[in-house]
Amino acid sequence: MKFTLQARDAQTSARCGLIQTDHGEIETPIFMPVGTVGSVKGVYHRDLVEDFNARIILGNTYHLYLRPGLEILHKAGGLHKFCGWERPILTDSGGFQVFSLSKIRKITEEGCIFQSHIDGSRHIFTPENNMDTQRIIGADIVMALDECCPGDADRKYAEKSLALTEKWLSRCIKHFNETEPLYGYSQSLFPIVQGCIYPDLRRKAAENIAALNPDGCAIGGLAVGEPTEKMYEVLEILHPILPQDKPRYLMGVGTPANILEAIERGVDMFDCVMPTRNGRNGMLFTWEGTINIRNKKWEDDFSPIDPQGTSFVDRSYTKAYLRHLTIAGEMLAAQIASEHNLAFYLDVVRKAREHILAGDFAEWKKSVIKKIESRL
């Protein structure tokens, strides 16, 4: 993997670049649609490519490990071939999913013991078998196994959690370097910066990771219960420490406004389930603000879903029609809303990139952020 930094904003820490992988190029800033079990829920790959020009999607190691399982993925030749996606894929380590299973998992020095949410069977992720798992899945970019520390953790817990994450990282790197990709293309390993909301712990984690000179860096443990302003403060702390010539990936964040704020603070890559999850529940993100399409006010609104939208669904369907489908419980409603939201998220990062290149990102961001944060 190669990353080329192409431009910086003069007034902020925003930047844009180009990631080159064996499955194609990724222009940054970039949003990665979440394909948890090998699919972006309710959306055809055709639409991701032809309508939104999504350059990369994300798969989830925990879910893919449990189902369909490593044997099937290996026989298929990896996730790319299994799901028919020819562009880059990133996999998380499953650490966040294991974190969310707090009642049915146990963290040890060796790894994380957990029960399947599907059938209750017991499993363990160690740094070594987690790297093997992600080799079999075959993503272009893989994450180190970490413990995702709660956003409201006390200092003692955060210190202990970071120490464990750093021990696991050393083991991940060692095992990753001792193994080879399985399918004839290269893979890159990103360490994850943890440390909760404690500035000195975040600095320590970032300095240790920067010294490793990885292909890229992930930032975890944010948007997990801490105030939003704390997240922004952490990003400001990390920006001067993390390598300037490597991409930064903020895991699991967030709203369109969160993404613009993070771009302003030097982040390059994002993923979040909000576009599809919220879409399935009738929430639409637009350039005019957020819409609850179930509200009666949209019943006879025959304007496009988003007059400024650029996707096929924005050109084809009205708010009134989408509200009708939603109220009727028609499955097409969830698909239209999901596609609209994904197209909007990708449009946000695409426009951010255009304005960084044009040299007016700060002014543009200021002009749009209040609108996209508003409720219509």
Active site positions, annotated = 92, 271
Residue 68, helix vs strand vs coil: coil
Contact in structure between 73 and 183 (CB atoms under 8 Å): no
List Cα–Cα distances, 227 to 149, 152, 364, in angstroms. Answer: 14, 9, 25
Could you tell me if residue 78 is left (phi over 0), alpha (psi between -120 and 50 degrees) or otherwise beta?
A: left
Whether cis (ω within 30° of 0) applies to the bond prior to 68 is yes
In this structure, what token pair is assigned to residue 81? 């071939």
CA proximity to 201, closest of 231, 161, 254? 161
In this structure, what token pair is assigned to residue 73? 């993925």
Residue 271: CA atoms inside 13 Å, Cβ hemisphere, count?
24
Could you tell me if residue 9 is left (phi over 0), alpha (psi between -120 and 50 degrees) or otherwise beta?
A: beta
Those residues with Cβ within 8 angstroms of residue 299's Cβ, 6 or more apart along the chain or in another chain: 320, 323
Sole residue written with tokens 């210190």:
159
Bridge-based pairing state of the strands 24-28 and 248-250: unpaired
Distance CA 310, CA 288 (A): 14
Backbone angles phi, psi at 17, to 5 degrees: -155, -170
Those residues with Cβ within 8 angstroms of residue 219's Cβ, 6 or more apart along the chain or in another chain: 192, 193, 234, 235, 238, 248, 249, 250, 251, 267
